[in-house]
Structure 1
Amino acid sequence: MTSAGRLGWVSDAKGYRYEATHPRGMPWPAIPDPVLDIWRAVGPADRLPDCCLINFYDKDARMGLHQDRDEADFSWPVVSVSLGDDALFRIGNLTRGGKTESVWLRSGDVVVMGGDARLTYHGVDRIKAGTSMLLPNGGRINLTLRVVT
């Protein structure tokens, strides 16, 4: 896991949070222009994201149902870009429990969680190894763009 942008996601003994510098003290790299172009194509035109969280998922990775609630203003969408192996994405409700729906995300798919969907519980049930040749050793990279402040 790493980040790009004005702010990055960190985890340490103090917990999870956004910080302006990498844990080693240097600023995060800029969000690459092609990634910002995706935001511009599907997100709001009047604000660019503060953070691009970059996660790698190997064939055994999972991410339990959760809400993205660490940003200051939930009116901005969360934009997620899938690269590499397919992932079984599950989305539920605004409260934990109840009916969920699953969809396979393939390399190049973009998910925009905005409006009523911004705070829905969501996660990744599994990665389908070998479905993409993008990464030499397989796996999936997910780019998650968001406005933090």
Structure 2
Amino acid sequence: MGIFNNMFKGKDEGSKKEEKKTFLKWIPLTSLEQLEEIKEISKTESVLIFKHSTRCGISSMVIKRFEALFTEEHQDLKVYYLDLLNYRDISDEVGYTFQVMHQSPQLIVVQNGVSVHDVSHYDITITNLSRFI
């Protein structure tokens, strides 16, 4: 019976995968007022803004790889998530406030109220997050 048990195990029995712990804690960016909050927080620590388009295949691929970059070392980084399709006005204001040209997907790092790093598309996936701790 052992061979048949292995071949015909139910989903719950045979395919349990260990869930990977995530160290990324998204903060939804849903109001213009939060931009002032970001500037204030950035006086003492780096703040990341991830601009994401839910309809873009590249953006979907990049966000998964971006999440995989986070280790325990990065768990205290403040990372704001901006849904471009639902909050276009905020996206426009992010570009104006931090003087970055709109891209999607895009990662913007804010320190002392200004953008110190911005990358887009697959360049996001090679960002050294440790330099912003």
Larger Rg: 2
The structure carrying a bigger helix percent of its residues is 2
| Same topology, TM > 0.5 | no
The structure carrying a bigger strand percent of its residues is 1
